[in-house]
Amino acid sequence: MFKKVLTILTIALFVVSVGFVGAGCKTTAAATTAAAETTAAAETTAAAATTAAETTAAAETTKDISKYKLASYWPAVHPYYESVKKGLAKHKEDFGVDVYSQIGTDWTQPTENEQVEALIAQGYNGLMVFPLDASGANALYKEVVDKGVPVINFGAATQVPTPASFTVATDVKAAAMIATEKVIKTMGEKGGILNVLEVVTDPNTILRKQGVEEVVAKYPNVKIVQTIGDMNAVEQCIEKISNALAAQGDKVNGIVTTGYNPTVAVATILSEMKNTKIAFVGIDDDPVVLKAIKEGYITGTFDQNPYLQGYVGPLLLEYLIDGLQKKQDYTFIDSAGVLITKDNIDGGFMDELWGAATDLAKNAKATYFK
């Protein structure tokens, strides 16, 4: 399994050398068959992951799990977090430790501050948090850590130095660069790109925008014809993207989306068009997106690993609560991912994602602690 993880990292490093939560409601346009296939795949790979995690879980079952009162904070309803929760559920199954999920009401740091402070008041002694402001969240984290409660980022990082002990997240800039490279190659290295962002204040969106622009700048015959953003729900995304495509016409030869809901929107639009001309790579593994790849209407999607974030994040908190000493004050752990195309959509990409999660859990103590 390590070989598969190393393969993913090697691809990412190659893209960097030549140039290298998203995160509304899921669209109801998902085909019943595709949704069933995705669910079945997730169940099958989760079962396989059980075997891979047995050694680690067995080593942990002798400890007193009653001392862990863990919580996970996500800012608002979003489909990406549903995949993180699958990792949390698998963690409980393998290690016996439950993690309370707190979902906020909006994508603002002040609301996050209030809700995280409320969790501390309720006695939670270890927190996983998606930070909404890469700088502002650090003030919240200092308050939490000063009370003796360890905190880790998941899905996005805070600015360093940071009171967070770890970040478990995708290297989102690198992922955006992989996606952009694939689009440009599919376009024949010439033409115009529509760059579609999601929540523009999200620290991840800022990095993704930079990644797309850096790759495009390497190709003299490729340009970004328009950048659109600040969208959330799928219906809103469909409207904004459709308007942009109508306005730009034949100038758009490729599309890059680096947010979950814009990806679902573009997959929906291009499927309805029965597209064969526009190259498109999105992000994550919504059933609408996977179906569009299978049918040949879109090029691919970069699938992050929210399952790993939900599975490994609580384990790191448990080690911190146990009093283990970190090798470094702060560590960014890249949860990586896999580029899904028509060539590998039926080739076990979920096995790779769950395998990476169980492998990391098995080695986390030796890798990150003294």
Does residue 62 sit in the same domain as residue 157?
A: yes
Q: Is the pLDDT of residue 17 over 60?
A: no
Taken as a whole, the chain contains a residue count of: 370
Does residue 238 sit in the same domain as residue 362?
A: no
Give the residue from 122, 141, 121 showing the smallest Cα distance to 133.
141
ω into residue 161 within 30 of 0, thus cis?
A: yes
Tell me, what's the pLDDT at 7? 35
CATH number of the domain at 331, please: 3.40.50.2300
In the predicted model, what is the mean pLDDT of the chain? 87
Model confidence at 232, in pLDDT bands (50, 70, 90)?
confident
Query: Does 21 reside within a domain?
Result: no
Give the residue from 297, 289, 303 showing the smallest Cα distance to 339.
303
Tell me, what's the pLDDT at 348? 82
Query: In this predicted model, what pLDDT tens digit does every residue of 316-341 receive, in sequence order?
Result: 999 999 999 999 999 999 999 999 99
Residue 308: phi, psi to the nearest 5? -65, -40
Q: How far apart are CA 216 and CA 105, in angstroms?
A: 36
Give the residue from 331, 324, 333, 364 showing the smallest Cα distance to 164.
331
Does residue 264 sit in the same domain as residue 213?
A: yes
Does residue 163 sit in the same domain as residue 180?
A: no
Does residue 159 sit in the same domain as residue 207?
A: no
Does residue 278 sit in the same domain as residue 317?
A: no
Average pLDDT over residues 121-149: 97
Query: Does 22 reside within a domain?
Result: no
Structure tokens that stand for 148 in this block:
């003796």
Q: Is the pLDDT of residue 49 over 70?
A: no
Does residue 159 sit in the same domain as residue 223?
A: no
Query: In this predicted model, what pLDDT tens digit does every residue of 178-207 receive, in sequence order?
Result: 999 999 999 999 999 999 999 888 888 999
Contact 313, 152 (CB under 8 A): yes
Q: Is the pLDDT of residue 367 over 60?
A: yes
Point out the domain boundary residue: 252, 286, 304.
304
Q: Show the domain range for 279.
A: 172-304
Query: In this predicted model, what pLDDT tens digit does every residue of 152-176 receive, in sequence order?
Result: 999 999 999 999 999 999 999 999 9
Does residue 199 sit in the same domain as residue 312?
A: no
Looking at the structure of the chain, the number of domains it has is 2
Q: How far apart are CA 349 and CA 365, in angstroms?
A: 26
Does residue 183 sit in the same domain as residue 275?
A: yes
Average pLDDT over residues 222-233: 94
Query: Does 118 reside within a domain?
Result: yes
Tell me, what's the pLDDT at 27? 38
Model confidence at 56, in pLDDT bands (50, 70, 90)?
low
Q: Is the pLDDT of residue 148 over 80?
A: yes
Tell me, what's the pLDDT at 155? 95
Query: Does 11 reside within a domain?
Result: no
Point out the domain boundary residue: 249, 281, 304.
304
Q: What percent of the chain has pLDDT over 70?
A: 83
How far out from the chain centre does Cα 62 lie? Answer: 32
Q: Is the pLDDT of residue 41 over 90?
A: no
**HEC letters along the chain:** CHHHHHHHHHHHHHHHHHCCCCCCCCCCCCCHHHHHHHHHHHHHHHHHHHHHHHHHHHHHCCCCHHHCCEEEEECCCCHHHHHHHHHHHHHHHHHCCCEEEEECCCCCHHHHHHHHHHHHHCCCCEEEECCCCCCHHHHHHHHHHHCCCCEEEECCCCCCCCCCCEEEECCHHHHHHHHHHHHHHHCCCCEEEEEECCCCCCHHHHHHHHHHHHHHCCCCCEEEEEEECCCCCHHHHHHHHHHHHHHHHHHEEEEEECCHHHHHHHHHHHHHHCCCCCEEEEECCCHHHHHHHHCCCCCEEEEECHHHHHHHHHHHHHHHHCCCCECCCCEEEECCEEEEECCCCCCCHHHHHHHHHHHHHHHHHHHHEC
Query: Does 101 reside within a domain?
Result: yes
Query: Does 326 reside within a domain?
Result: yes
Better pLDDT: 143 or 33 = 143
Which range among 44-58, 115-129, 137-151 shows the weakest confidence by mean pLDDT?
A: 44-58
Does residue 97 sit in the same domain as residue 148?
A: yes
Average pLDDT over residues 272-288: 96
Model confidence at 128, in pLDDT bands (50, 70, 90)?
very high
Point out the domain boundary residue: 304, 325, 357.
304
Model confidence at 62, in pLDDT bands (50, 70, 90)?
low
Does residue 300 sit in the same domain as residue 333?
A: no
Tell me, what's the pLDDT at 293? 97
Average pLDDT over residues 244-263: 96
Query: In this predicted model, what pLDDT tens digit does every residue of 296-316 receive, in sequence order?
Result: 999 999 999 999 999 999 999
Query: Does 327 reside within a domain?
Result: yes
Does residue 160 sit in the same domain as residue 194?
A: no
Q: In what order do the strands lie in the sheet with 300-304?
A: 222-228, 191-196, 252-257, 279-283, 300-304, 337-341
Query: Does 10 reside within a domain?
Result: no
